[in-house]
Structure 1
Amino acid sequence: MSDRAVSDTLGFVFVFAIVLSMVGLVSAVGMTGLQDARDVERVNNAERALDILGDNMEDIAERGAPSRATEVKLQDASLTLDRPVEFVVSGELTSDPSVNFTNTYEVSPVVYAADSSDERVVYAFDALLRTRGDSGTFVRRPSFVLTEERVLIPAFVTRPDEEATTSVGGSGTFLIRADKAASDVLAARTDGQYDVNMTVRSPRAALWREELSSRPDVTCDPVEAAATPDGYPSVSCYVNGAERVYVVSTSVDMTFAD
């Protein structure tokens, strides 16, 4: 009986230890899953907020609003007016290349970055991208018209204002303030067919190539590596023989406030 009692006791201890280890494992997995779900929801919330920013920018550019403020809630994350990227829009008359135009825009993207992952949400040139590492997707497509019948490029030029707070982080509710600085029609060509080029220099050049080349009348070159160590890769895309070309620029001064 003594040996059997010892055996039963040891068996109980082993079973109890296994149960405890399984409970610990399930708890750890559950907590990790819960944290992952929270992280995803935080990025989703940032995506929705920056999509509203895009709507507000269209109010400024297209509906005459002098300014707009967009609320963003941060939780272990940062919001930055990032280093400028470059968009170059040029065109030449198909029958006479000496008739041409070139417009260059330096655009400071608004970038949401989660502290706990490499996920980013980026607003630039009226587009919204969600990225993780080198991959990503456009969740808001730029409002370009790129067809042989008509090319319309509304250039949304976001830039820091003179006394801008260009980065905030941590946890809290912040405002993205946007004030209209200037609006110009930089090209309005209806005097013949034009070959139009858009070159994008950005760390997300490959994603821009994927987006622009998805349009039926657009062709794109391969992405070119950065020309300098601190430069960005670039991609050039084309619409040839466009009958009407319009390029309208709206410059907006940006800052963050709590």
Structure 2
Amino acid sequence: MDNRGVSEVLGFVLVFSMITATVALVYVSGIPALQERRDAERVDNAERAFDVLADNVNDIYQGNAPSRATEISLDDARLAFGAPTTMRVTVTSLSPTPVYETSFRPIVYSAGTRTEIAYEGGAVIRADPGNPENAIVKRDPPMVFADDSGNGTALIPFLGTRPAGDGSAVGGSTTVLVRTVGATPTVENVSLTDGPYTLNYTIETTPERANAWRDFFDGEVPAPLKKDCPVAGTPDGVVACEIEVDRLIVTATGIDVTFN
């Protein structure tokens, strides 16, 4: 083979090697990036769907509809009822001490092991199971803590979601119809208007979502009402907030939920 032939072969080998290396580089660096973007879009879409779900449950809570249905696209994710959450209001300044408490099952969307979206007690919470400090309330629950010229008011709705069927989870790449129906609550409505009252509001949730509730209380409860609020989320997922108000209203709404 003459020198020209050798040069052509070497040139071909070099060009082929460069193409192969470029393809490999794009595959190694580009595919994970595309997957991360796809995962982020998937979770963002779920978050928007949960925002609609919260609107629909609020319609039931406010008496505007007996039931609602919400479509949630899973896209290789999982929709399930989470472990029970307990919300408790204790009026510590009264004797005997009244306690108003409800337990329910939050609705949880899980995208692998990195991100979950939960509808819990009226709030939409985005959490990272591996980094609980990153949990955030993306949509506030319909609670009201107000200070009107020294007169404090707390309106606390118990929105108790619970499985109406067997509570089975749904997974895969399908669209789930989440049907929510107003049902008999587990506690009665309460109205106390002759305060001041000292309240301890406790939420027993998961460690992944506790910090979101802590930050919610920190931002939503006016400073004049706070006595010891919030207590940081503990490893077992308990958040407590002690406040003082002149008027307390606790409402309860049962929400039966099915996945179709």
Smaller-chain TM-score bracket: 0.7 to 0.9
**Unaligned 5+ runs, structure 2:** none
* Map of 1:58 onto structure 2: 58
| Structure 1 position 41 matched with structure 2 position 41 | yes
Correspondences of 1:59-74 after superposition (within 5 Å): 59-74=59-74
Q: CA deviation at 1:165?
A: 4.0
Output the TM-score relative to the length of structure 2.
0.86
Identity %: 36
Once residues 139 and 223 of structure 1 are traced to their aligned partners in structure 2, the CA distance between those partners, rounded to angstroms, is 18
Give how far 1:13 is off.
1.6
Q: Counterpart of 2:215?
A: 210
2:66–2:181 Cα contact (<8 Å) kept: yes
CA 1:224/1:167 → structure 2, altered by over 3 Å: closer, same or farther?
same
How far did 1:223 drift?
3.0
Instruction: Supply the distance in 2 between the matched residues of 1:139 and 1:193 (Cα, whole angstroms).
Output: 32
- Are residue 170 (structure 1) and residue 172 (structure 2) matched? yes
CA positional deviation for 1:33: 2.2
Task: Label 1:100 to 1:120 Cα distance change in 2 as closer, same or farther (>3 A).
Answer: same
Q: Matches of 1:210 and 1:91 in 2, distance apart?
A: 22
Map 1:171-210 → 2, pairs under 5 A: 171-182=173-184, 185-203=188-206, 204-210=209-215
Paired AA for residue 141 in structure 2:
P
Q: Residue type matched to 1:16 in 2?
A: F
Matching residue's letter, 1:141: D
Is residue 76–residue 114 contact of structure 1 (8 Å, CA) maintained in 2? yes
Residue number in structure 2 paired with 1:230: none
The residue number in structure 2 matching 1:229 is none
Is 1:98 aligned with 2:95?
yes
Structure 1 residues not aligned, in runs of 5+: 227-232
SS of the aligned residue for 2:135 comes to: strand
Give the counterpart letter for 1:23 in structure 2: V
Structure 1 residue identity aligned to 2:21: S
The aligned residue for residue 156 of structure 1 is 159
Q: Name the structure where strand makes up a greater proportion of residues.
A: 1
SS at 1:104 equivalent:
strand
Count of residues in Structure 1 that have an aligned counterpart in Structure 2: 245
**Would you say the 8 A contact 1:156–1:250 is kept in 2?**
yes
- Cα-Cα RMSD: 2.1
Mapped partners of 1:16, 1:10: distance in 2: 10
Instruction: With the length of structure 1 as denominator, give the TM-score of the two structures.
Output: 0.86
